[in-house]
Amino acid sequence: MSVAPRTHFLLFLISLSSRMGLSRYIEDIEAADGLYSLLSLDQKRDSEDFIFRRPLRCLDMLATDGSYTFVASRPQLACAAFIIAEPSEVISLELSDVNIDCSAGDFIKMFDGWVLKGEKFPSKQDHELPLHQRYTDYCSSPATGATSRSSQNVAMIFFRLHSADSGFTLAIKKLHNPFPCNIMSQSPEGSFTMVLPHQRKNCSFSIIYPVEIRLTDLSLGHAKSNELNPQRQLWSGCSGSGDYVELLGGNGVDTSMMFPVAALCFSLSGLAQVKIGCDNSVVRLVSSGNYINRVSFQYRLLEQSELPKTQENALDNFCSVE
């Protein structure tokens, strides 16, 4: 086949692919409802019994879809529940059977993210909403304040109940998120690929353990040479590069308050690894929106012997890095 007809043929194939919506980066492979899809209608109706239900504790961590009911046996003035899903999920929250007295100071507030010791995840820099829009206050508007949907795989609920027998029910449902951004890992080991296709935003993958992180693939907008550039004190990093990946370490959940460990400004085809001996280790992808950026990495928990020894009279507050 000569060049011109071949070119036309290839263009024809490309146009067919675009109409079919094929994309290397958009893969939303759903297994439908899995085993659930094999049930008959009667069996599906009976599946209401499959909804997980249990009492909610004043301090709780919820990772399972279901219905959680809190009933105060005595005044409960400081309660909170963390909610976490898989990296590729967001969380839908719905309050029902709410029996509280807002005028007496009771409240139920849902937060889009996690708050720990005053620090927020995702940070203000990494979340698309201003801070005040991340809170949903039931008492401010019971009609609209009873539902909330998170922007990432973590959410929280805070509540205060002054009277015994007051309470509420919280329903948790997880929804698929095809382009996850800002993830809290449930486990100290695993792997993940973060993709930002032409999106101007910053995304963090947070691991609340001291880990070794191995970057296995990095594709940034500008493909030039690359070197892992560990920075400890002088941080020049990749500022000004537009799109880059940075590794952070710290002892809080707010990524804007964590220490930069290393930064990669250019695409990577080999392997780069860093041990971060901090309570929280983060891979953060900064994207200008001009390119399709992708970073793949693996992480594992550092053994006790790999953790830094406590130094007496140590003034350096930064966790150890290798």
Partner 1 sequence: MPPPLAPPPVLPRPLLLHLGEELSLRVGGGSPEGVGEKEKRSEEPPPSLDLTFHLLREVLQMARNERLNQQATSNRALMDSFGK
Closest by CA to 154, choosing from 183, 181, 189, is 183
Residue 124 makes contact with partner 1 by CB under 8 A:
no
- Count of C-beta atoms within a 10 Å radius of residue 79: 18
Residue 251 makes contact with partner 1 by CB under 8 A:
yes
In the complex, least distance from residue 58 CB atom to partner 1, rounded to whole angstroms: 8
Residue 6 makes contact with partner 1 by CB under 8 A:
no
Site string for partner 1, 272-301 (x = CB under 8 A): -------xx---------------------
Q: List the one residue from 117, 233, 315, 316 that touches partner 1 (CB under 8 A).
A: 117
Comparing CB distances to partner 1, the nearer of 62 and 263 is 62
Residue 49 makes contact with partner 1 by CB under 8 A:
yes
Residue 175 makes contact with partner 1 by CB under 8 A:
no
- Side-chain-side CA neighbours of 247 within 13 Å: the count stands at 31
How far is 235 from 162, CA to CA, in rounded Å?
A: 49
CB 172 within 8 A of CB 89: no
How far is 184 from 205, CA to CA, in rounded Å?
A: 6
Strand-by-strand arrangement of the 259-264 sheet: 183-184, 202-207, 280-286, 244-250, 259-264, 229-230
Under DSSP, the state recorded for 38 is G
Stretch of residues binding partner 1 (CB under 8 A), selected from 60-68, 91-99, 228-236, 290-298:
60-68
Residue 179 makes contact with partner 1 by CB under 8 A:
no
Cα 80 to Cα 120, 189, 227, 282: the distances in Å are 14, 26, 44, 24
Residue 66 makes contact with partner 1 by CB under 8 A:
yes
List contacts with partner 1 (CB under 8 A): 35-36, 38-39, 43, 46-50, 52-57, 59-64, 66, 69, 77-80, 82, 84, 102-107, 109, 111, 115-118, 131, 135, 137, 139-140, 156, 158-160, 162, 186-187, 208-209, 251, 279-280
